[in-house]
Amino acid sequence: MGAMKHQDDLFAFLSIPGVSAEAEHAADCERVADFLVEKLTTLGFSATKHMTKIHPIVVAHSPKVEGAPTVLVYGHYDVMPVDPIAEWKSDPFKPEIRDGRIYARGASDDKGEIMCHVLGAQEIIEEDGKLPLNVIYLFEGEEERGSYSLHEFVQDPEVQKDLACDVIVVSDTGMAAPDIPSLSYGLKGLCCFELKVEGPSMDLHSGIFGGAVANPITTLCEMIASTHDADNHVTVEGFYDGVQEIADWERESWARVPGASDTELAALTGVPALRTETGYTGTECAYARPTLELNGISGGYEGEGSKTVIPTHAIAKMSCRLVPGQDPVDIMKKVEAHFRKVCPPSVRMTYTMQHAGDAYIVDPHSPFGKAAQQALEMTFGNPPVLVREGGSIPIIAEISKKLKKDALFLGLDLPDARIHSPNENMRVEIFEKGIEMAKNLLRLMAQVK
């Protein structure tokens, strides 16, 4: 087999170890940004590297096409750390094709997907001499560490003017199966908080004081248990205020998502059975029902064997995934009020609010949404499943809010792409179809009036 089309470009891009979270890779992050600026400049774009407090942001404008729509394509050039490095079958920064897959850190998330968009534009320029519409690329280098600089960047009215567009396109989400494309039109919101329950001022002997003093672990467990009823509804007062019911067309679309039945989700996750909110499938809960999850708990003796103490305190780390209609800060306050209500007088509680991000939803049947659906169907041979993301990408919600335009998610991460894990990969077929999809998308969106 000869070299894959565009292999040199992709491999050069994947070879630069732009791990945003690791200080020793700061210069590499800048090198990735430089690579993009150079590549886009070669294609005739006006490309700029904006320096930030952390890693640069790349903004590139195609030559102006009067009267045509403007599409902003978001992506992130930074990648996750590679640990555990011993589990990689090949060097994460020496891309390699094996068995029809490109292996490298960032092969899918998100360098591979950025390259599909850039190379799609390149092929159109090569074929037609120019793009049929205005394209803005916005590539950041901090997505895997919280998008701090981009969040700052888009607060600037001048930047908002520079990024003014008609629609935002993102390829940084999942794809159901190689022949079943996915269009995501919603993201969950998120808020994180911590609950600490404090009892005695020192660890107590469980014999001398047991039965007299509230056990902070037991009390914390009781408080946590009070957050859900037997139907797995969250019992926090007002939690569901403003939450929209799932529409019939959504239920129908989600039932088509491959691998997303309750039986398949149980097999995928290794649980003996799902436990969903009564009246909803697992996928419906993940896409469109708000949740309150325990992410961590600790307290007392956690070592080998036993130590019969009543500990001074116990802590739980929690988060809510939210849906449109819920305000993350409002929800954190409601959760606090719930805990204050159920907290017994025998302990002290401390509640700490951490970060928060809004949920996000757009209409996938808008003119640009329809163009995206059509581009996916043309490329992959099947209409896309219309899904929502269970995950949260707060920076997209923020950009969309600032630019006042919809963001559409055309995902190319297959379930077996191993993003964030060792042996991350992208199928060669998906890379090639991704380029095709980007071409179809730009041509179809050019026709939106």
- Angular region, 83: left φ>0, alpha ψ -120 to 50, beta rest: beta
Residue 373's alpha-carbon distances to 186, 390, 431, in angstroms, are 15, 20, 18
Query: Phi, psi (5° rounding) for residue 317?
Result: -100, 130
Does residue 210 interact with its own copies by CB under 8 A?
Answer: yes
Does residue 261 interact with its own copies by CB under 8 A?
Answer: no
Angstrom distance (rounded) from CA 325 to CA 64: 38
Stretch that binds its own copies, among 132-140, 306-314, 326-334, 401-409 (CB under 8 A): 306-314
Residue pair 175/117 in contact (Cβ under 8 Å)? The answer is: no
- Considering only residues 397 to 436 of the shown chain, the ones binding its own copies according to CB under 8 A are none
Among 106, 141, 181, 199, binds its own copies (CB under 8 A): 199
Measured from the CB atom, is 7 or 226 closer to its own copies? 226
Amino acid identity, position 276? T
Report the SS3 class of residue 24: helix
Does residue 141 interact with its own copies by CB under 8 A?
Answer: no
Closest contact distance (angstroms) between CB of 14 and its own copies is: 24
Among 220, 236, 395, 417, binds its own copies (CB under 8 A): 220
The residue count for binding its own copies (CB under 8 A) is 87
Closest contact distance (angstroms) between CB of 242 and its own copies is: 18
Among 122, 283, 400, 423, binds its own copies (CB under 8 A): 283
Does residue 253 interact with its own copies by CB under 8 A?
Answer: no
Contacts of 175 by beta carbon, 8 Å cutoff, 6+ apart:
181, 182, 411, 412, 413, 414, 430
- Considering only residues 160 to 179 of the shown chain, the ones binding its own copies according to CB under 8 A are 174
Does residue 305 interact with its own copies by CB under 8 A?
Answer: yes
Closest contact distance (angstroms) between CB of 207 and its own copies is: 4
Measured from the CB atom, is 244 or 298 closer to its own copies? 298
Does residue 345 interact with its own copies by CB under 8 A?
Answer: yes
- Considering only residues 355 to 394 of the shown chain, the ones binding its own copies according to CB under 8 A are 355, 389-392
Among 40, 121, 138, 347, binds its own copies (CB under 8 A): 347
Give the count of beta carbons closer than 10 Å to the beta carbon of residue 75.
Answer: 23
Name the strands in the sheet holding 385-387, side by side, starting at the edge strand that comes first in the sequence: 46-50, 57-61, 134-140, 70-76, 167-170, 407-411, 182-184, 385-387
Stretch that binds its own copies, among 88-96, 153-161, 284-292, 400-408 (CB under 8 A): 284-292
Report the SS3 class of residue 184: strand
Stretch that binds its own copies, among 38-46, 131-139, 325-333, 343-351 (CB under 8 A): 343-351
- Angular region, 129: left φ>0, alpha ψ -120 to 50, beta rest: left
Does residue 301 interact with its own copies by CB under 8 A?
Answer: yes
Site of tokens 């007088």: 345
Residue pair 86/402 in contact (Cβ under 8 Å)? The answer is: no
Closest contact distance (angstroms) between CB of 352 and its own copies is: 10
